[in-house]
Structure 1
């Protein structure tokens, strides 16, 4: 199978290009005339890799239900996300164990790219839409058991580094190849730098759920932006971040930045009442907020919309594509499998028109 158009690769744009797919893998990338009648698109990008996603299409990852997880992944795949990391929220230990066990077969099947624990080791002062009833200090035995149960499926965990035992938890995650993310934190600049030195490599939705920047105590944001080994997540929906902030992060993040959706079940659904981690959420004009206090509660974003938002903010399509695919794949240890249009990687492709609307999706060499 061949797909022709402007191909976005790690090295730039191949005009009048084509991708040859052999089975589930990319066989070659070239330019010029092709034999036969290839599929055509204005743009061909690598399949999106969303490393922070709680659900969509009316379905959620947060309850650990495998059927709901499968449906949520299918919804986001239609929007170009060929690799989705299922994000849980702060939960009781039993739910975390049950969800990890339930999602492991979906990871092995390729429905999910892995599991992300957003909590429960988070700051009560910056918990946002996390259920405060389930927050707790890091427990190394609990964490080790979850990693063991996941058998390679656990890809990331978000931790507030100022909590007792957090640095040891970060070291434990790093030692098992699990990305430790700094987020939902009231940490000082120094405590954040200590987390990075301990092995933290991701910033969970930078700016959101974090102590704000102050000129006398810069807090976590500047420490994370200035760390070459840290990938900074950004929720590019025009709500979580102003476009000017998004453009700033694109130029300032020394370790790169990743577009994420932080989507919840309401993504792709009508406005109305929803639930996230046991908390009531109201969606109005596509914005999800806690019913209790109006805090932003995830998003209704899809990755194709995030790419359009980034490009509209002045980011080049090459950089936006990297932020939607290659950089997040690197952040969770999947860059040897997905995230770029390179021979030998899985044939995950998103076909877009001139307005960057999705016209087709290929996953493992098969049109979806």
Structure 2
């Protein structure tokens, strides 16, 4: 049976179309529709319920050593409030999950994991807890709500509620002791849309009040309720990988184009030996659809009559105005400008390899 977030009744009240996702009942869109919601995030601001994500604490004198053992990135030189993206791998180098680690302070780290993987991730973490002395993992997901405020007007809206000197300054950083509308929260300068914005973590019991406060505060700026549909088109337009698509238990971070967060300079981490011994034959690419049609995930990719890979995600990109896809293909066919085709139910659709991300705040 699917769970609900603390905002379930709020979504219903605002006309959200509820669907099952990652074990939860969440809005896929509102009456405005996916395209309008997507464009709001690119041009003004959108509001997302991300409370289905998992939150886990890692605490104790051995916390840093345990994180460096479990995860591919290096967390050694982080300042308080800094966030760092990482993969968590199996011994064979394939992905358990991707996640974000925040350093709250020495010996205390706040970890955000994917909703569909939360239980699997926590089980994996607890199974390896004894690999390092003096650290424990605690799942606090049930008590935490997460609301994302994304778009170029996000700062303008939140600045009505939070003094300017209380914002996190750097991208991928957070302030852990903030109060908005009398509600304690974490304010994080992060997001999964490719647009500027913030993510707020707060007590689950305050989620509905925070949602309504933000909507009322952002009314003049056109703050729009957004669902899962826009969240997916936005992240794909921004070239951001999604677990279960661009990475999974059979794909390594190096194949996914995520080598930047695999630190071989570390003495050890789970999966290091396998990753060092492997030379990826395939890689993640971006594709602009030049033929007619939409190319979705799991479509075979061809160069002439040679199968060279498989699409992992695909959609019409509302802001760009044309269809796009990502794929895992043989490295020999990954150069920008390479012409490929996708087999869409027996029909060949023409595509061209383009650089990732498709969209960014600075890329025209």
What is the TM-score when the length of structure 2 is the normalising length?
A: 0.26
Considering Cα pairs closer than 8 Å and 6+ residues apart, tell me whether 1 or 2 has the greater RCO: 1
TM-score (norm 1): 0.26
Greater strand content: 2
Larger radius of gyration: 2
